[in-house]
Amino acid sequence: MALYSRTLDGRTSQNASTTNSINVPTSSSFQLFGQVGLDISQANASFPIRVQFDGMITFRLSLAPDVVINTIEIRIVRGTNSTDPVVFDGIKTLVLNGTENTPQEYSFAASDYNVPIGTGFVVYTVFVRNITPGGDPTDVVRIGPESFNALALGN
């Protein structure tokens, strides 16, 4: 029997399509910025299911931040809560150089391998939070674009 991979489902969560289309201060708590549900019910349970992700989020630093280096965490979970199984956890360091206040993008790619079929429907959620020690989380603002894509592959 030949092994091959076919697309089971693909979804996009587009929170903001253009730069400066939103103005959301970050927080020290996880904030949802994307969520997708994938139908994997047609997968062959004898073969692994793989879900591939990519996305981006764009920030702007305050011109007078409490600290000039801010650290942002991006977390993707299989589920809807930031404490659900983590499939990706990435860090982005934002630096204010002089008076530079240009958008700073963070692009990411990740995958979840051997996804359980369960009910045939799986949800992935991506969160963002500011984890800067001693800083004011509102010194970093989400300005867009923000996008989260997921593609489920199986046999």
Hey, what amino acid is at 112?
A: D
Answer whether 63's CB lies under 8 Å from 99's CB: yes
pLDDT at residue 2 is higher than 60: no
pLDDT at residue 94 is higher than 60: yes
Tens digits of residue pLDDT in 8-64: 999 999 999 999 999 999 999 999 999 999 999 999 989 999 999 999 999 998 877
pLDDT for the residue 99: 56
pLDDT for the residue 96: 80
Cα torsion angle, 78, 82, 86, 91, sign: positive
> CA angle at residue 87 from 55 to 30, to 5 degrees?
70
Answer whether 148's CB lies under 8 Å from 88's CB: no
Tens digits of residue pLDDT in 76-85: 999 999 999 9
pLDDT at residue 1 is higher than 70: no
Cα torsion angle, 112, 123, 58, 134, sign: negative
Going along the chain from its start, the domains and CATH numbers come out as: 6-154 (2.60.120.760)
pLDDT for the residue 100: 61
Cα torsion angle, 37, 142, 19, 22, sign: positive
